[in-house]
């Protein structure tokens, strides 16, 4: 088997998602994707809770287990791939340590990091070491999003005017919302030029950093399409709406898709684009596709759908959103203030509100 993979952050053996919506054990999805890839062997798992590492290793054919990333990197000098599945505040230091130890493919969970200074360091380190860094927005590989991307790109609905992601259920921008910011960029097929946001920040935290109670975010894409992302308890469901000059698309997180096309797009064509391709791994299918794309991109020296630049662009939008809300100003990208993290953005908002 050509590639030796490892995971840091196994998660509890049975996901113990708490009331604060933390604890998805996403390391298990990475382990499954490695197990199912013909060219990968899961060689090692590290977790500060060694019992979590042990359970994941046992489930996946008996990899070595370690109680820390540093111990794993010291004892496993020939790792090719590492999945960083810990909380976002740990992503930067773990990615840097892996690059330093010579790992050449690193899949970091979303969101990439909690400040732009961290992201700049992660990308610089990867570039200078010749390593490939990826950020796991695996929804890009899932239907109906993948087909919607092609339907839009092939021009069947005309120009894309607005892409509007929404996520309720108490979810925040940096956690679940990260997927919708990413999906807005993916479908709009453009980069953000500016960001404007309003947020209510009452001191809530998730995954080790500040989060909002609710947010309204506008993303100005460079060719004129507007991105919108709503978070908060009052947002019903989770999905994305795409409004175009000649029709619209409604895609929900559970995979349902509807197209309204006044120019009457033939039904069979819509079906061809949006038909669900059932995976025997259900919701985890896209994690397998992500790992396959990462390895093929590495081997062929081509971009993947989830390169570090993409994860960076998503996180830059999200961090800009918190800064915009704190300063009550439209912020142009790239952001000039690269050191402020989420907690500082929150504090400056609290000061602004006196």
Ligand X SMILES: NC(=O)c1ccc[n+]([C@@H]2O[C@H](COP(=O)([O-])OP(=O)(O)OC[C@H]3O[C@@H](n4cnc5c(N)ncnc54)[C@H](O)[C@@H]3O)[C@@H](O)[C@H]2O)c1
307 binds ligand X (CB under 6 A): no
Which token pair is 237?
């469901």
Contact with ligand X (CB under 6 A) among 60, 138, 143, 218: 138
165 binds ligand X (CB under 6 A): no
Q: How far apart are CA 45 and CA 67, in angstroms?
A: 9
Q: How far apart are CA 88 and CA 119, in angstroms?
A: 11
Shortest Å distance, C-beta 167 to ligand X: 12
Shortest Å distance, C-beta 24 to ligand X: 3
279 binds ligand X (CB under 6 A): no
Number of residues engaging ligand X in binding (CB under 6 A): 27
169 binds ligand X (CB under 6 A): no
Shortest Å distance, C-beta 231 to ligand X: 14
140 binds ligand X (CB under 6 A): no
Peptide bond into 111 cis (omega under 30): yes
CB 285 within 8 A of CB 145: no
Give, in order, the Cα–Cα distances in Å from 113 to each of 44, 53, 95, 212, 330.
Answer: 24, 23, 10, 17, 22
Contact with ligand X (CB under 6 A) among 11, 147, 170, 285: 11
9 binds ligand X (CB under 6 A): yes
Burial (CB < 10 A; 0-12, 13-18, 19+), residue 339, is exposed
DSSP result, 217-283: EEEEETTS-EEEEEESTTS-SEEEEEEETTEEEEEETTS-EEEE-TT---HHHHHHHH-----TTGG
Between helices 50-59 and 27-36, what is the axis angle to 10°? Answer: 30
Q: Which x/- pattern, by CB under 6 A, does the window 202-241 give for ligand X?
A: -----x----------------------------------
69 binds ligand X (CB under 6 A): yes
Query: Where are the strands (E) in the chain, listed by range?
Result: 3-8, 40-46, 64-66, 81-84, 105-109, 132-136, 160-167, 192-200, 205-206, 209-210, 214-221, 226-231, 238-244, 247-252, 257-260, 331-332
Specify the stretch interacting with ligand X by CB under 6 A; choose among 7-15, 149-157, 191-199, 323-331: 7-15
DSSP state of 130: T
90 binds ligand X (CB under 6 A): yes
Contact with ligand X (CB under 6 A) among 5, 7, 10, 97: 10
68 binds ligand X (CB under 6 A): yes
The residue (of 282 and 301) whose beta carbon lies closer to ligand X is 282
76 binds ligand X (CB under 6 A): no
The residue (of 109 and 289) whose beta carbon lies closer to ligand X is 109
Residue closest to 75 by CA, chosen among 48, 51, 46: 46
Contact with ligand X (CB under 6 A) among 87, 164, 168, 281: 87
304 binds ligand X (CB under 6 A): no
Site for ligand X in 13-52 (CB under 6 A): 22-26, 46-49, 52
Shortest Å distance, C-beta 22 to ligand X: 6
Point out which residues bind ligand X (CB under 6 A). Answer: 8-11, 22-26, 46-49, 52, 68-69, 85-88, 90, 109-110, 136, 138, 175, 207
């Amino acid at each position: 088997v050509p590639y030796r993979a490892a995971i840091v952050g196994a998660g509890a053996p049975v996901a113990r998602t708490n009331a604060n919506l933390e604890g998805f054990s996403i390391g298990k999805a990475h382990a499954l994707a490695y197990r199912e890839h013909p060219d990968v062997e899961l060689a090692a798992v590290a977790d500060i809770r060694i019992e979590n590492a042990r359970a994941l290793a046992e489930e996946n054919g008996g990899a070595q287990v370690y109680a820390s990333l540093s111990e794993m990197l010291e004892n496993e000098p020939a790792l090719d791939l590492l999945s960083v599945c810990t909380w976002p505040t740990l992503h930067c230091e773990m990615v840097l340590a892996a690059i330093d130890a010579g790992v050449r493919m690193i899949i970091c969970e979303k969101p990439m990091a909690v400040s732009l200074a961290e992201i700049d360091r992660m990308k610089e380190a990867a570039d200078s070491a010749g390593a490939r860094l990826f950020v796991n927005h695996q929804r890009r590989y899932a239907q109906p999003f993948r087909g919607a991307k092609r339907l839009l790109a092939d021009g069947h609905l005309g120009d894309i005017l607005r892409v509007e992601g929404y996520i309720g259920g108490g979810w925040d921008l940096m956690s679940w919302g990260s997927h919708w910011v990413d999906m807005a960029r993916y479908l709009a097929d453009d980069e953000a030029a500016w960001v404007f946001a309003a947020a209510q920040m009452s001191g809530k935290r998730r995954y080790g950093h500040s989060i909002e109670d609710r947010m309204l975010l506008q993303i100005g894409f460079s060719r004129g399409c507007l991105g919108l992302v709503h978070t908060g308890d009052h947002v019903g469901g989770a999905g994305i709406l795409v409004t175009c000059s000649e029709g619209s698309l409604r895609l929900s997180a559970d995979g349902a898709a509807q197209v309204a096309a006044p120019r009457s797009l033939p039904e069979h064509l819509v079906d061809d684009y949006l038909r669900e391709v059932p995976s025997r791994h259900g919701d985890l299918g896209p994690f397998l596709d992500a790992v396959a794309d990462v390895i093929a991109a590495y081997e062929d020296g081509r971009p993947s759908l989830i390169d570090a630049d993409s994860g960076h662009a998503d996180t830059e939008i999200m961090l800009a959103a918190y800064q915009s809300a704190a300063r009550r100003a439209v912020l142009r990208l790239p952001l000039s203030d690269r050191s402020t993290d989420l907690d500082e953005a929150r504090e400056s908002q609290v000061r602004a509100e006196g």
